[in-house]
Structure 1
Amino acid sequence: MRRQLHLNINILNSGFHGAAWRASSAGPDAFVDVGHYVTTAKIAERAAFDAVFLADTPSVTDRPEYRPFQALEPTIILATVAAHTRHIGLIGTASTTYNDPYNLARRFASLDLASGGRAGWNVVTTADAAASRNFGLDGAVAHASRYERAAEFTAVVKALWDSWEDGALIGDRATARFLDLDRLHAIDHAGPYYKVRGPLNVPRSAQGHPVVLQAGGSGDGRHLAALHAEAIFSVAHTPEEGRAFAADIRSRAAKFGRGPDEILFLPGLSTVIGGTEAEARRREEELWDLLPIDYALGRLAGLLQIDQERLALDRELPDYLPVPIDGMQTFFGATVHVARRDRLTVRQLIRKRGGSTGPRQVVGTPEQIADDIAAWFETGGADGFNLMPDVLPDGLETFADHVVPLLRRKGIFRDGYEGQTLRDHFALPRPVGRFTAAREASLGQAQQIA
């Protein structure tokens, strides 16, 4: 089969731009209106997007005096979206630092079953100090410790998802036999951080188990991705960066016996679209007019973990900026790298980031956006993108109606869905559970002996 582009929509409440909520056709309460998420998801499904994606931080964050934040619990939103859609994948973020493996495994397995195999889990470790205080801690858990816990946590969740073999549920009314207990397994996990008996109390779904995604770009984050991720939300600003990141992860994954085609790479992409380039630039300027500069400065200072007073709008970043030991190292590194490479002033850096941090931003016509996406895809810079329109749902609707047809004309994006599960959309194989694999290996050995 010909390689196909993958597109997710990152529903950052009213949109990626810091002033999105002031420009959106949705109301100011959209961040807690599940109908807004359903509407956005339906637009994405009409365009045959692979999935909707929801970020999450369990705290009041992101300068709430200026901008809405991710507030509703992701699996609650996604369960509602599942009831109003038929095909689109449902990816939610959940922290390994502030959850329990059994409850999280059960929650996402339930979403997977309820949606017919459309669920995905974005694994995060949560660097936010405010979140830590909501769980009885005085500050963020140390970076290395977070990732050690995350590696074990994810292994436990996957083991629980595998604790039911296919065929465990018999449901034979004639014989009164409901479950085949030989195909139900305790995982008996005992590690440095977790002790879990198992099995899970729900069976496997149509896609086996939820797709595992990850977004860390630090050394520890890359190790975790190489171990467990099936798709990665990366930060790359040139195709060369995208290829280098993918090569590094694949090299690390090979050491764990994983093949080069087992992981998808989906950089973030923010878009500002106009009928002409001048219209796109005018839309961008109108959004800037709505954004308090104090918000943008404060957000950048928070990412860099420095006092806001150290940032002068029309000067470059301070010379000395140590990597935050327990902060968001991926976004820190990407932001500082672009600022140094392009010799950007703080004002230019903020604008390049849409008043936020992290992903690459493209401002232009539908043709320019489509050409940019195609260039990345065709040169191996990305397998697809985690799309972050400037304003939701407006920016997504423009992308769906004017960019997607151009991508189809180029022959790189599907005309419609060809399967039902998220794994179908991502062209990822259905995983064989470890207990099933062990049973099949044992049967094979028995047959050889016979």
Structure 2
Amino acid sequence: MSAQSRQLHLNAFLMNVGHHEAAWRHPATNPERDGVDHYVGLAQLAERGKFDSVFLADGLALWNNVRHNFAGRFEPLTLLSALAMATSRVGLIATVSTTYNEPFHVARKFASVDHLSRGRAGWNIVTSAQEDEARNFNQERHLDHHSRYQRAAEFLDVTRALWDSWQDDALVYDKKAGVYADTDRIRPVNHTGRYFSVAGPLNVPRSPQGHPLLVQAGSSEDGREFAARYAEAVFTAQQTLADGQRFYADLKRRAGHHGRPPEQIKILPGIAPILGGTEAEAKRREAELNDLIVPEYGLTQLSKMVGLDLFDHPLDGPLPADLPTVDDINGNKSRFSLVIELARRERLTIRQLLVRLAAGRGHRVFAGTPEQVADQLEQWFTGGAADGFNVMPPYLPGALADFVEQVVPILQRRGLFRTEYEGRTLRDHYRLARPAAGAGVPR
């Protein structure tokens, strides 16, 4: 693809009434109105802005501190079904864990959503990161980090084989002969492995995209190798351009080792943009949000990120010296490393770190004018740090509307982003080929 034809990709990460942990307290939000109409409006807004996709995160436990903030809402695939009926072009990505599900269920659900949406489904693959989740699924302890990724790899192999268990032309609808489907074009999977035994075939015909778009977000060593092997889009968190460039180059290199061209994997760092008519106004809006922070909420999150209870440590002191090492962390290793490096590089107190994490949980937060935000995106995109961005509006719907109305037109004028959708499916938006039938069958 020529440099002239390369355009960035935008995903809208939809989270309740916004990504800032105090968004629900902001006068511009209505946390009591976060039902299906709220999400439909957000998806339609992203579609109006020609976004590639919208994304719903998920967790399988009630964590954080629900006394001070929301801690979960709809099951994402169920919600995507509703969004599919209310939109026609924007892609629909949902998080589903490979640790607490089975391949047949997941393959069937995503194939169904892909059919319902006419080819707009995407799966954000996670291995789950919280100990609390294990106790909701008959387990006393979470699987160790490496084992979770081993299970995930087998899970993906089985799921892709199930999606390919029907050939594209298996349905013949021959009324005269009385033949509904050509059973020679439907085959079992007959998988027996370390974690799964699955006969197949799937009970859903092959979907419009063949395989829903595969998305991944882990940036640990295991996560990067998994992404290089399977992922087609990667949601990631980097604080600096240099960190973004290193991650981008590393993941593209790893993809090559798996025989994949670098353009087959799209890297989208997260950014939480806070817009203002002037830089001073944007900084004021950021300060207004941060003034609404409840420290007890952020401390709960931060304690889990760093693997140590911080409630007994002074807010205006540094992180304690006796923190675990990354090898001790059985949750999100890459986010642990990012947060520790951020605190040490900028010599932040715990209170200052809580503020820095409030809007993005480790993703980059940038407050500025629409032009300044567009400049940042262009710098990362043209500088070898991103193929696009996972846009995380600090409060919803207002911050997403501001981005669509103020930043997207600038990117379009610069020739960096589409003015109209060029295709119908999520794979079309990301400029990714539809897998041939049989592509997902392990050799």
TM-score, structure 2 normalization: 0.95
The C-alpha deviation readout for 1:260-291, integer Å capped at 9, x for no partner, is 11100011111111111111111111112222
Match of 1:444? none
Q: Secondary structure at the match of 2:264?
A: coil
Q: Is the 8 A contact 1:300 1:356 kept in 2?
A: no
Match of 1:172? 174
Match of 2:18? 15
Q: CA separation in 1, counterparts of 2:147 and 2:310?
A: 29
The structure 1 residue matched to 2:258, chosen from 256, 268, 275, is 256
Q: How does 1:224-239 map to 2 (within 5 A)?
A: 224-239=226-241
Q: CA separation in 1, counterparts of 2:268 and 2:440?
A: 31
Q: CA separation in 2, counterparts of 1:332 and 1:56?
A: 19
Structure 2 alignment gaps of length 5 or more: none
Q: Is the 8 A contact 1:301 1:311 kept in 2?
A: no
Match of 2:344? 340
Match of 1:442? none
Q: CA separation in 2, counterparts of 1:52 and 1:353?
A: 22
**Cα gap change, 1:437 to 1:16, in 2 (>3 Å):** closer
The structure 1 residue matched to 2:421, chosen from 413, 417, 422, is 417
Q: Secondary structure at the match of 1:92?
A: strand
Q: CA separation in 1, counterparts of 2:416 and 2:72?
A: 32
The residue identity in structure 1 corresponding to 2:43 is: A
Does residue 218 in structure 1 map to residue 192 in structure 2?
no
Q: Secondary structure at the match of 1:75?
A: helix
The residue identity in structure 1 corresponding to 2:390 is: N
Q: CA separation in 2, counterparts of 1:211 and 1:24?
A: 37
Match of 1:77? 79
Q: Is the 8 A contact 1:24 1:394 kept in 2?
A: no
- Report how many aligned residue pairs link the two structures: 437
Match of 2:306? 304
Deviates more, 1:250-259 or 1:64-73: 250-259
**What displacement does 1:417 show?**
0.7
Match of 2:293? 291
Aligned CA RMSD, in angstroms, stands at 1.7
TM-score, structure 1 normalization: 0.93
The residue identity in structure 1 corresponding to 2:199 is: R
**What displacement does 1:105 show?**
0.4
**Cα gap change, 1:355 to 1:239, in 2 (>3 Å):** closer
Does residue 6 in structure 1 map to residue 9 in structure 2?
yes
Structure 1 alignment gaps of length 5 or more: 439-450
Q: Secondary structure at the match of 1:267?
A: strand
Q: Is the 8 A contact 1:52 1:89 kept in 2?
A: yes
**What displacement does 1:320 show?**
3.8
Q: How does 1:88-107 map to 2 (within 5 A)?
A: 88-107=90-109
Q: Secondary structure at the match of 1:72?
A: coil
**Cα gap change, 1:46 to 1:356, in 2 (>3 Å):** closer
Q: Secondary structure at the match of 2:311?
A: helix
Q: Secondary structure at the match of 2:80?
A: helix
**What displacement does 1:398 show?**
0.5
**What displacement does 1:314 show?**
2.6
Q: CA separation in 1, counterparts of 2:317 and 2:51?
A: 40
Q: CA separation in 2, counterparts of 1:235 and 1:28?
A: 26
The residue identity in structure 2 corresponding to 1:56 is: D
Match of 1:351? 355
Q: Is the 8 A contact 1:207 1:423 kept in 2?
A: yes
Q: CA separation in 2, counterparts of 1:123 and 1:367?
A: 34
The structure 1 residue matched to 2:377, chosen from 370, 373, 381, is 373
Match of 2:436? 432
The residue identity in structure 1 corresponding to 2:190 is: D
Deviates more, 1:17-26 or 1:259-268: 17-26
The structure 2 residue matched to 1:64, chosen from 63, 66, 73, is 66
**What displacement does 1:130 show?**
1.5
Match of 2:160? 158
Q: Secondary structure at the match of 1:389?
A: coil
